[in-house]
C-alpha cells in the first residue's frame, strides 16, 4: 500500500502539470511515451516482442502518431488531407494503419513463413487499438472546449473504477464475471455507472458556474457518462482477460504497486475514441 501511495503522489506531481499545460507540445509528447510503453507491454505479454518485423514498426507508429496529433505539427497534413485538423489527422492515421497492414502482409510472404498469422493479427490489433486511443485523447484536447472535454476522459473511467470498488466492497454480493475478474460484482458495476454518470453531470454544472461563455447540454453529457462508464468497465475486463490468457499478473511495472501503463489506463483507453466521436457529434459544451 505504501508503494502504491508513493507512486500515486509522484504520478500526480508529474501528471497534473502536464494536464495544466496540455495546450502545449508536452501533452502529445507524454501521450506518445505512454503509447509506446503500452505497445511494448502488450507485445511482451503476448510473446511477440522479439518478433522484430512486427515490434519495430509497431513501436515507431506508437511513438510517432500521438506526437503528430499535436496541433503544432498539423501543418504537415492539414491541407494535404483537407482543411480540418481532426479529419486530416484521422485520414493520416488510417493511411498509416493500412500501410502497416500491407507491410506485415508482404513481410510474412518474403520471410517465408517465419512470421506467423497470429503475430500479424496481434501486432495490428495492438497498434490500432492502443495508438488510436492515445491519439484520440490528444485530438480531444484540441476540439472546442477541449480543456473541459479531455477531463471527461479521466473522470468517467476513473470515477467508475473508484465508485465500483467502494460500492462492490460495501454492497457486493453477486459476482460479475469471476472467471475474468473475481473481485468485481454486479452491484459494484451498476453503482459505478450510476455514480460516474452523476459525476459527469456534476462536472457539467461546475463548468457552467465557472465559465459563463459555455452552455452545457446535460442530455448529451449524461448519455456520454452513462455509456462510457459501461464501456470503461468493458475495457478493464478485456485487459484482464488478456492477462489471464497469457498467465501474467500485470502488464509491466513502470508504476510500482499499480503495474504497467495498460494496468493504469486500461479503462481510459477503452473510452477515448468513443468520447472523441461523441463530443464531435453531440458536443456537451457549446458557446453561448
- Please state, in angstroms and rounded to a whole number, the distance separating the CA atoms of residues 180 and 202: 32
Interval 56-68: pLDDT, tens: 999 999 999 999 9
With a CB cutoff of 8 Å and minimum separation 6, the contacts of 75 are none
pLDDT of residue 133: 97
pLDDT of residue 52: 87
pLDDT of residue 64: 97
The whole model's pTM is what? 0.93
Q: DSSP assignment, residue 81?
A: S
Q: What is the largest CA-CA distance in the chain?
A: 64
pLDDT of residue 18: 86
pLDDT of residue 109: 83
DSSP string, 92-155: HHHHHHHHHHHHHHHHHHHTTT-S-HHHHHHHHHHHHHHHHHHHHHHHHHTSTTHHHHHHHHHH
Give the dihedral sign, CA 76/79/85/89: negative
pLDDT of residue 237: 92
Interval 218-237: pLDDT, tens: 999 999 999 999 999 999 99
Tell me the chain's radius of gyration from C-alpha atoms.
20
Which residue ranges of the chain lie beneath pLDDT 70? 1, 113
Enclosing H/E stretch for 178 = none
Q: DSSP assignment, residue 236?
A: H
As beta bridge partners, residue 215 has 286
What the block records as the C-alpha cell of 209 is 458556474
pLDDT of residue 29: 95
Amino acid at each position: 500500500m505504501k508503494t502504491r501511495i508513493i507512486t500515486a503522489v509522484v504520478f500526480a506531481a508529474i501528471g497534473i502539470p502536464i494536464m495544466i499545460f496540455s495546450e502545449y507540445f508536452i501533452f502529445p509528447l507524454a501521450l506518445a511515451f505512454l503509447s509506446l510503453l503500452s505497445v511494448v507491454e502488450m507485445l511482451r505479454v503476448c510473446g511477440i516482442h522479439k518478433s522484430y518485423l512486427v515490434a519495430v514498426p509497431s513501436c515507431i507508429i506508437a511513438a510517432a502518431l500521438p506526437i503528430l496529433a499535436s496541433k503544432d505539427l498539423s501543418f504537415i497534413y492539414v491541407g494535404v488531407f483537407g482543411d480540418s485538423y481532426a479529419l486530416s489527422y484521422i485520414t493520416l492515421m488510417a493511411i498509416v494503419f493500412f500501410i502497416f497492414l500491407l507491410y506485415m502482409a508482404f513481410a510474412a510472404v518474403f520471410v517465408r513463413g517465419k512470421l506467423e498469422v497470429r503475430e500479424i493479427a496481434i501486432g495490428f490489433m495492438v497498434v490500432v487499438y492502443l495508438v488510436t486511443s492515445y491519439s484520440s485523447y490528444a485530438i480531444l484536447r484540441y476540439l472546442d472546449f477541449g480543456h473541459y472535454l479531455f477531463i471527461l476522459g479521466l473522470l468517467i473511467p476513473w470515477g467508475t473504477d473508484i465508485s465500483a470498488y467502494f460500492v462492490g466492497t460495501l454492497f457486493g454480493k453477486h459476482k460479475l464475471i469471476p472467471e475474468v475478474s473475481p473481485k468485481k460484482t454486479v452491484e459494484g458495476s451498476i453503482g459505478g455507472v450510476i455514480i460516474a454518470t452523476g459525476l459527469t453531470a456534476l462536472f457539467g454544472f461546475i463548468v457552467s458556474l465557472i465559465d459563463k461563455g459555455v452552455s452545457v447540454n446535460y442530455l448529451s453529457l449524461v448519455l456520454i457518462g452513462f455509456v462510457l462508464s459501461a464501456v470503461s468497465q468493458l475495457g478493464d475486463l478485456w485487459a484482464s482477460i488478456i492477462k489471464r490468457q497469457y498467465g501474467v499478473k500485470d502488464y509491466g511495472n513502470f508504476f510500482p504497486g499499480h503495474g504497467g501503463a495498460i494496468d493504469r489506463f486500461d479503462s481510459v483507453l477503452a473510452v477515448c475514441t468513443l468520447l472523441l466521436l461523441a463530443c464531435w457529434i453531440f458536443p456537451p459544451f457549446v458557446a453561448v
